Amino acid sequence: MSAAPQTLTEKIISSRMVGGTMKTGQEIALRMDQTLTHDVTGTMGYLAFETLGIPRVKTELSVSYIDHNLVQGDFKNMDDHKYLQSIAQKYGIVLSRAGNGICHTLHFHRHAIPGKTLLGSDSHTPTIGAVGMLAIGAGGLDVALAMAGEPFFLKMPEVVEVRLTGKRKPGVTAKDVILELLRRMSVKGGLGKILEYTGPGLAEFDISERSTIANMGAELGATTSIFPSDNAVKAFFKAQQREKDWVGMEADKGAVYGSLIEVNLSELEPLVACPHMPDNVVRVKDLPRTKVDQVFIGSCTNAAYADLAKAATILEGKTVHPDVSFSVSAGTHQMLEMLMRDGHMQKLIAAGARLMECSCGACVGLGQAPSSGAVSVRTSPRNFKGRSGTFDANVYLASPEVAAASALLGYIAEPAEAMDPARYASFRDPDSYIINDNMFLQPPADGSKVEIIRGPNIKPMPISDPMPQRVEASVAIKRPDNVTTDDIIPAGATFSALRSNVPAISEITFGRVDPEFVGRIKKLGTGFIVGGENYGQGSSREHAAIAPMYLGIKAVLAKSLARIHKANLVNFGVVPLIFADKTAYDGIDQGDVLVMENLPDQVRSRKVTVRNKTKGTSFDMLVELSDREVEVIIAGGNLTYVKNKSK
Ligand code: MIC
Ligand code: SF4
């Protein structure tokens, strides 16, 4: 009897599954072949790893990237970088030095292997699905556990086929494909799903373009996105001199998907996501004339060689609009060298571009914050309010072609308004890259003698107490739908420098949206958070769970929760509760006192009855957790749970 045909996702999952059943909605345990971390989530992850007492990582490859917070305003970030470098040497981790490039881009260029699994402490880890790797984002603690050889647990997602058909018109880009999906599906449309791309339209996109699409699957809330490892991937590996790492892999003929989404490329037009959500998508030509103050081409979404070469062609021999501040950043050091060699960087700089280092930078408010009330057009993946570093700025997300045309004309423009797209259509991924891995530091074979360098801003990771029997506390904050982790713990240069110091970073919890929150919860001592749909969407930063826990938050009551944030809450002992009847949300006000009795027993039964003492009402909350997660949360979080288990 021949085996049933499988999707690409099922093939990889079944080959790495060490527990559970591969059935949508059931918990599975996956062995992780590789991990990646970066500086702003890595420090917490490694602080956790250190407490596990394991002499060397157990993965095939773990890479620690320094790419996010490269601003050196004082000692803090450099101290973090030194800590990360010493940890990497001690525990057998490859370190990517500051300036080498952005983690996801570097990873699929230099380290990814089709058909293998990768866990990354960043929500855009799925970018690497462009080369047929199953790449999932998670909190730092989950990545620490994966480095320790523990499996990664998740609910088996529905595998959705995204079938690309037709031929794109000139000026239509990969960014428009993913913006179209965001327009149709919204920022929560991908929850509990893996998007597997298929169809004749695949041939339209080279690997960097596929990475743009896979990257912003994160904005859909999808668990990950994956492309087949076809001949285009083979050619890409050849261009990277990594042919030996290439493995061909695709779905079997007749594989059965949970559902189908079709995107006819011929129908697409240049799109833009308007402030302040990536799903607020319209056609560029339907926008009223929108004057632009700033343009940024960069980030893990759209900073490939061809992205910048196209922008350079649009701007060649011209000057950016006098009202526009224009900055560019290549995704990797390799590509920057090539763009310089081939004259593209020279054209951009001659046109007035400001060259930023190969890092996340402006994407997450680490430099290049726009002026008050400014309109900023960016090729990055997120435009949440305040993320740019300027709370009242209006960020639009678009392709590099739209960004370059807008930089030139001073308003948000279709690419064709600046230049006939046929003139730059030939730019694709290069046939060969400059290979220069000298910014990756390999660890010594024996790291046991390496001393860890710990600056004064690096504080131990706090852990939660075991779950109490009874909680009586006030609703410390009530928020609407789509709360982002940027709302809970803002990014930006000042705050990101506090990622290794929970007591300090907790002081800014909800600071942008409710400056009184911290004072209030400190007075209360304990409290609850009430949220709407998709609470905790966006970044994987576990500080958005740790800081509320540290301040005394015992549970989050929401209509629905984003996957990574929910896992982070569990990892740090904060109970995630889902309204059984969503209308109960309307009956709660900030300040109401809620009571939960016999909490561990109720959590085990998957239903918690909550009494609203202030209103004299009661309502039920669902506990949508696996048996393992329930025990993790009762133990007071995953570090305690794993340590208890191994006693
Ligand atoms: C982001 O794009 O929001 C970040 C900064 O890369 C985050 C990671 C973090 O906040 O630490 C992410 O996407 O997970
Ligand atoms: Fe960095 Fe921005 Fe990508 Fe996050 S989305 S990894 S901040 S470039």
Q: What is the dihedral of CA 252, 257, 260, 261, to 10 degrees?
A: -70
Q: Which ligand places an atom closest to the C-alpha of 106?
A: 2
**Nearest 5 degrees, angle CA 347-CA 408-CA 428?**
55
pLDDT for the residue 645 = 85
The ligand that comes nearest to the alpha carbon of residue 218 is: 1
DSSP annotation of 136 reads E
Interior angle at CA 560, CA 475 and CA 388, nearest 5:
85
Query: What is the rounded average pLDDT of the residues 364-386?
Result: 97
Q: Which of 223, 364, 498 to mutate to test the pocket of ligand 1 (most atoms within 8 A of CB)?
A: 364
Ligand 2 atom closest to Cα of residue 363: 2
CA-wise closest residue to 154 among 31, 27, 12, 21: 27
- Residue 149 CA, ligand 1 centroid: distance in Å: 24
| pLDDT for the residue 567 | 98
Asked if 374 and 350 count as a contact pair (C-beta separation under 8 A), the reply is no
pLDDT in tens, 253-291: 999 999 999 999 999 999 999 999 999 999 999 999 999
Contacts of 515 (CB under 8 A, 6+ apart): none
Q: Are 33 and 117 in contact (CB under 8 A)?
A: yes
Question: CA 375, CA 293: separation in Å to the nearest integer?
Answer: 5
Strands (E), 451-530: 471-478, 527-530
* C-beta of residue 260 within 8 angstroms of C-beta of residue 230: no
pLDDT computed for residue 2 by the predictor: 65
Name the one residue in this structure whose structure tokens are 């007591």. 503
Mean of the pLDDT values across residues 389-398? 97
**Of all protein residues, whose CA lies closest to atom 4 belonging to ligand 1?**
539
Strand, helix or coil for residue 477: strand
Average pLDDT over residues 581-586: 98
Q: What is the mean pLDDT of the chain?
A: 97
Which H or E run contains 17? strand 17-20
The alpha carbon of residue 397 and the mean position of all alpha carbons in its chain are separated, in whole angstroms, by 16
User: Residue 451, exposed/middle/buried by CB under 10 A (0-12, 13-18, 19+)?
Assistant: exposed
Q: Is 278 in the pocket of ligand 2 (CB under 6 A)?
A: no
As a whole number of angstroms, the distance between CA 348 and CA 350 comes to 5
Q: Is the pTM of this model over 0.95?
A: yes
Distance in angstroms (rounded) separating the CA atoms of residues 436 and 433: 9
Tell me the pLDDT tens digit for each residue of 136-175.
999 999 999 999 999 999 999 999 999 999 999 999 999 9
Predicted confidence (pLDDT) per residue in 302-361, tens digit: 999 999 999 999 999 999 999 999 999 999 999 999 999 999 999 999 999 999 999 999
User: CA-to-CA distance for 356 and 208, rounded, in angstroms?
Assistant: 20
299-317 per-residue burial string, b: 16 or more CB within 10 A, e: under 16: bbbbbbbbbbbbbbbbbbe
Question: Which ligand places an atom closest to the C-alpha of 143?
Answer: 1
Q: Looking at the CA of residue 299, tell me the nearest atom of ligand 2.
A: 8
Instruction: Give residue 350's identity as a one-letter amino acid code.
Output: A
Question: Cα angle vertex 522, ends 517, 525, to 5°?
Answer: 120
Q: Looking at ligand 1, which residue's alpha carbon is closest to its atom 3?
A: 539
Q: List the residue whose alpha carbon is closest to atom 13 of ligand 1.
A: 539
CA distance 218 to 213: 10
Say how far apart CA 13 and CA 32 lie, in whole Å: 10
Distance 616 CA to ligand 2 centre (A): 46
| Residue 584 near residue 619 (C-beta atoms within 8 A) | yes
Is the CB of residue 380 below 6 angstroms from any atom belonging to ligand 2? yes
Ligand in closest contact with the CA of 297: 2
- Adjacent-strand bridge partners of 120: 36, 137
Buried b (16+ CB within 10 A) or exposed e, 12-34: bbeebbeebeeeeeebbebbbbb
Q: What is the pLDDT of residue 646?
A: 80
For ligand 2, the distance from its centroid to the CA atom of residue 36, given in whole angstroms, is 14
CA atoms of 12 and 152, how far apart (whole Å):
14
Q: What is the pLDDT of residue 533?
A: 97
Q: What is the pLDDT of residue 99?
A: 98
Q: Cα separation of 363 and 331, whole Å?
A: 12
pLDDT value at position 3? 85
For ligand 2, whether the C-beta of 297 sits within 6 Å is no
Q: Nearest CA to 158 among 5, 13, 17, 264? A: 13
Q: In this model, does residue 548 exceed pLDDT 70?
A: yes
Side by side, the strands of the sheet bearing 158-165 are 224-226, 193-198, 158-165, 259-264
Q: 313 has which bridge partners?
A: none
Q: How far is CA 403 from the centre of its chain?
A: 22
Strands 607-612 and 617-622: antiparallel
Residues in contact with ligand 1 (CB, 6 Å cut-off): 40-41, 68, 122-124, 364, 491, 538-541
pLDDT tens figures, 494-547: 899 999 999 999 999 999 999 999 999 999 999 999 999 999 999 999 999 999
pLDDT at 1 over 60: no
In order, the DSSP letters of 509-532 are TTTTT-TTHHHHHHHHSSEEEE--
| Cβ atoms 46, 468 nearer than 8 A | no
Separation of 363 CA from ligand 1 center, angstroms?
Answer: 10
Residue 363 CB less than 6 A away from ligand 2: yes
CB 82 within 8 A of CB 452: no
Contact 476, 559 (CB under 8 A): no
